[in-house]
Structure 1
């Protein structure tokens, strides 16, 4: 008769009756399973990431050679260095250095580039449009416009600032709806190196690549309002140009004035020339230790530019247009026949005269197309010392109501006055 196991295990057995060797073996198997699981999870994540990158590149219309290791794609994404007169991309081994010598050569960080690098966008876009002919036509028969604007992702420091931004985006949406224009309002930081004035560059570039059907990307600062809702851009004037900015030839090219143009509102054609300009332009403004030094350089180069002011997009563009005239100048149209950008200080006190004497549709001094509240800084609350926050608030309300009356009249209403949010029947 077989004996029953004892209640107390022997020296080579566990209390469950499993040998120590078996337990060690089981633990090793468990660890192997865990390691295998981690490896599989890593491979899965890698596969998902590769798939996502492939899908993203496909959406960005970057066509790669799928035979072999795709050297064409690697070349497109490699980027090119930016060489400018006075702004050199060749950095010495000890990093970015400001050279104080005849000719004043400033070294910019060559590692920064707007991504992904594209060198054949005109060809890619032409092919895309031929495959998607239904995307190109517009209701008006004019070249397709795509309006882009943005504001910070966090709440404004000034409580009234958020209310102002709400009115500003409502104003832009009203204009775009009336004229059949697509609009994208961004609140995300697309590139950590492009901050402050520079946020527009990666955003405009992203809009170009994401919307090959758009002939023009139209940038508009958040503090700019449409005040003539009937005026339409005379795009037929710009057939031979790729960048349209409010400005004056003599101020930009003769006096080299910092206020010779304004980058708060501009049109940029969706083409390779524009992508190249954005790359050259961004190299001046990438966040880094040289922004103050570059700002000093721009102040020495430009008239009417403030002292101790870091590198800004407006000053950098004027510099580029003068330093590399053959490359950029012929494709830039400086517009002054209407208010693509209208400085609010010169316009807001004339609104009643506009209403009394004229009607919307002119876009010029008779009824300004855009009123830009430069210097008001409604979101931060840090206004220019020349005028008070109350003056800014009051005139933003006037500009918004002037535009809003043109919308409300469609529905049989109008504001009681330009200073009031109350409305009356027509």
Structure 2
């Protein structure tokens, strides 16, 4: 049997002494704090690693540190589908009854839930009534330029937003609509009143549209725009001549709507509807699905059963329109124009990040992906209280969209925003003593009048002269 050497014995004793010292230290208060700190560090590193993995999966291509997916690598249609879902579901979530407003609302007649809901007395001769009125008031249904008169209608909730920033951007978007209406000779109506208590949330537009039709017989078209949509091509005009006898112009995709029967085959955030009997009948056909409560819940179940990929939630006006176009009277489909050639509804996440490229490469007037006509902030909740990453991004891009459009207005006056993300302005053109540009016109007229006697004199003397000078 081998005996341990003296060195081994010494090493063993030192090791034992070290272990005892370590145990004594770890059992002390200072040692326990050190152990706790090390364990906390381990947990922190582990959580950080997991967070990076989750964020990488969420952000997709480009990861955390710069770079993003190429615009063309993302399918526009997929983005629109997701946006449509987010928009409607967000509205359902925010559809909280306004008790303060409801308590002040005067009900002349109480609706009996056992009967189909109506927006008002049935009207069957509206076309003849309007024809008679327009005969008595010739020219009232046209603008000064001779185009059919159009009324732009929008609105927002009657009570203040929980988040003051929401009211601020409602004001900015209102200014944007006023600018567009002024530039294109449109009438404008902005609503903040409750017309029908039963028709809350996205259904509130139905009674409002009916009131506009009946009280403005001079108006040929009514253009509805959601409060979270903004004009971003201030030059583009709706090509009304192409729509012929169609009575409803709505943004959408034919294959999604007519082939796939998708509940998001069209978007009701921005659409035009003709002031006529057909349109009154359409509102009457949609109204029974809208009253809040059991009626709306049951209608939602019907739409979920009939329309592809629709989640289970209460009825919304967009699903109702898709449903009656697909399964209702054929006249609804026959007189509806599904517009897709330009952005009557442009999903904000697809367009806002390309504004600088558009400004460098193109100019307003296209209305399509080169310069979007309308940018629609679907899924944003500007009135919601509380800071969150999604709302911060919405507000940031709303500011950029507003300034992108406002530059087109300010340019006439020689100004633009210093940057799309800034409210500050800068002068882009010097003021002139001839702001109307009349000096050049006067000079040309003077040159023309002085040249004319000389030419006549040359002609009388039989001299040859170059007739091009008369041009």
Fold-level similarity (TM above 0.5):
yes
The 2-side partners of 1:315 and 1:290 are apart by 15
The 2-side partners of 1:375 and 1:110 are apart by 34
1:139 Cα deviation after fit = 2.1
The 1-side partners of 2:378 and 2:385 are apart by 13
Count of residue pairs brought into register by the alignment: 316
After superposition, residues 109-148 of structure 1 pair within 5 angstroms as 109-148=114-153
For residues 252-293 of structure 1, give each alpha carbon's deviation from its aligned partner in whole angstroms, at most 9, with x where no partner exists: 111111221100000000000000000111111122313222
Matched, 1:347 2:368: no
1:381 Cα deviation after fit = 4.7
- Alignment partner of 1:152 out of 129, 150, 157: 157
Q: Match of 1:293? A: 298
For residues 48-87 of structure 1, give each alpha carbon's deviation from its aligned partner in whole angstroms, at most 9, with x where no partner exists: xxxxxxxxxxxxxxxxxxxxxxxxxxxxxxxxxxxxxxxx
Q: Match of 1:337? A: 341
1:296 Cα deviation after fit = 2.1
After superposition, residues 231-242 of structure 1 pair within 5 angstroms as 231-242=236-247
The 2-side partners of 1:382 and 1:210 are apart by 40
Q: Match of 1:378? A: 382
- Alignment partner of 1:417 out of 393, 416, 419: 419
The 2-side partners of 1:196 and 1:238 are apart by 30
RMSD: 1.5
The 2-side partners of 1:112 and 1:216 are apart by 25
- Alignment partner of 1:369 out of 370, 373, 381: 373
Note closer, same or farther for the CA distance 1:381–1:220 as it changes in structure 2 (3 Å cut): farther
After superposition, residues 27-426 of structure 1 pair within 5 angstroms as 109-307=114-312, 309-381=313-385, 388-426=390-428
SS of aligned partner of 2:323: helix
SS of aligned partner of 1:219: strand
- The answer as to whether partners of 1:229 and 1:360 remain within 8 angstroms in 2 is yes
For residues 90-111 of structure 1, give each alpha carbon's deviation from its aligned partner in whole angstroms, at most 9, with x where no partner exists: xxxxxxxxxxxxxxxxxx8534
The 2-side partners of 1:424 and 1:392 are apart by 25
SS of aligned partner of 1:290: helix
The 2-side partners of 1:303 and 1:111 are apart by 26
User: 5+ residue gaps in structure 2?
Assistant: 1-112, 429-471
The 1-side partners of 2:292 and 2:400 are apart by 37
The 2-side partners of 1:304 and 1:393 are apart by 30
Larger radius of gyration: 2
The 1-side partners of 2:302 and 2:333 are apart by 21
Note closer, same or farther for the CA distance 1:135–1:230 as it changes in structure 2 (3 Å cut): same
- The answer as to whether partners of 1:246 and 1:335 remain within 8 angstroms in 2 is yes
- The answer as to whether partners of 2:116 and 2:288 remain within 8 angstroms in 1 is no
